[in-house]
């Protein structure tokens, strides 16, 4: 069977890769203009990655739900994977409820009607022209003495 050290290393590797994937997912999803959709997709992705479920054959071992669902479905069929799929579905319903709560708590976020103003102190003056910088190539002419 699996010993405790291997079990911890496997979970640490999964959590590290999952954290990287979650950060990349958050960078992608933060550009969505609809606040509810943005909150829901952020939470749904994180919950999908980090939902642990008991292993179907050994309930003492917890495994990532998304991996366990796919492997159980492929190896043992739908009957074995159904409890894991229901746990994952409950997690997605929780993500939906949390997204509605975040929308009510924080509001739409970023829906100001007027555009943001730039910092006037660092803005260049309108009438000041920059001096044109002309690049001069080095000359390859070789001077030779004519005798």
pLDDT tens-place string over residues 98-129: 999 988 988 765 555 555 565 666 555 555 55
What span, in angstroms and rounded, lies between the C-alpha atoms of 107 and 101? 10
Predicted confidence (pLDDT) at residue 7 exceeds the cutoff of 90: no
Contact indicator for 56, 68 with CB cutoff of 8 Å: yes
What span, in angstroms and rounded, lies between the C-alpha atoms of 54 and 143? 84
Residue spans of the domains in the chain: they are 4-106
Predicted confidence (pLDDT) at residue 5 exceeds the cutoff of 70: yes
Contact indicator for 38, 29 with CB cutoff of 8 Å: yes
What pTM did the predictor assign? Answer: 0.64
pLDDT tens-digit series, residues 81-93: 899 999 999 999 9
Structure token pair of residue 114: 């007027």
């Amino acid at each position: 069977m699996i010993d405790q050290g291997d079990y911890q290393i496997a979970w640490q590797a999964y959590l590290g890769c999952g954290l990287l994937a979650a950060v990349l997912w958050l960078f992608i999803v933060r550009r969505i203009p609809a606040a509810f959709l943005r909150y829901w997709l952020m939470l749904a992705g994180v919950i999908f990655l980090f939902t642990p479920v008991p292993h179907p054959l050994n309930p003492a071992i917890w495994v990532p739900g998304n991996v366990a669902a796919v492997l159980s479905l492929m190896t043992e069929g739908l009957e074995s994977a159904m409890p894991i799929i229901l746990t994952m579905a409950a997690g997605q319903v929780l993500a939906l409820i949390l997204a509605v709560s975040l929308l009510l708590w924080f509001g739409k976020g970023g829906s100001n009607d007027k555009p943001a103003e730039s910092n006037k102190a660092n803005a260049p003056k309108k009438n000041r022209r920059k001096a044109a910088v002309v690049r001069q190539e080095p000359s390859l002419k070789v001077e030779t003495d004519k005798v």
